Amino acid sequence: MEVPPKVKIRKPTGVFIVCGLVFLNFGLYQFIQDFMAMRNAEVETPVIITALVIGLDVLCALSAIWALLGDNAGRISMLAFLSLSMLWSVFVLIFAISKAEKDAAGYYDASIFVFGFSLLKPLFLLGLSWWYFTQQKVVAYYKQDNNYGLF
């Protein structure tokens, strides 16, 4: 009795779209934005903070490429690094709000609120990524060639 060959699941189109958005927004765009912010800062950024921020941007971009290649570990690492990157941004926002001081007119600096609203797009992309990459058909695609036995 012969066992029929397993049908290979094609890569869902959304994988290309979401991985591309993650690479561009959390990887490339965020890297350029963070690099320019540190370069134009009034005070010198500590080396550990620089390594953490730039490292998260690079790891987000690389894990998006890894997930695009179809590896389940790449999918999981992309979701993990996206979550860490967003968590870092929220931490920076909370720190900026806690250190904010009123000016002579009694108002807070508007740049804090602009930074807070600028987190809406990455937060939406994080939610989209988690929603899409945990769907049953996408998980089935990633697990079809999973040789790790862990995920």
- Residue 3, domain member (yes or no): no
- Residue 2, domain member (yes or no): no
- Residue 17, domain member (yes or no): yes
Q: 28-81: per-residue pLDDT in tens?
A: 999 999 999 888 888 888 899 899 999 999 999 999 999 999 899 999 999 999
Nearest to 129 by CA among 8, 26, 9, 10: 26
- Encoding tokens for residue 69? 């290649």
Confidence of residue 150 (pLDDT cuts 50, 70, 90): low
CA 31 centroid distance within chain = 11
Confidence of residue 3 (pLDDT cuts 50, 70, 90): low
Which segments within the chain are labelled E, that is strand?
Answer: none
Is residue 5 predicted with pLDDT exceeding 70? no
- Residue 66, domain member (yes or no): yes
Q: Let me know: does 15 contact 67? Beta carbons within 8 Å.
A: yes
Q: Let me know: does 83 contact 118? Beta carbons within 8 Å.
A: no
The predicted structure's pLDDT at residue 11: 87
- Residue 150, domain member (yes or no): no
- Residue 7, domain member (yes or no): no
The predicted structure's pLDDT at residue 16: 95
Task: Give the residue with greater pLDDT, 98 vs 64.
Answer: 64
- Residue 57, domain member (yes or no): yes
Q: How many domains does the chain have?
A: 1
**Predicted model pTM:** 0.84
- Residue 8, domain member (yes or no): no
Structural domain including 123 reads 13-143
Is residue 109 predicted with pLDDT exceeding 80? no
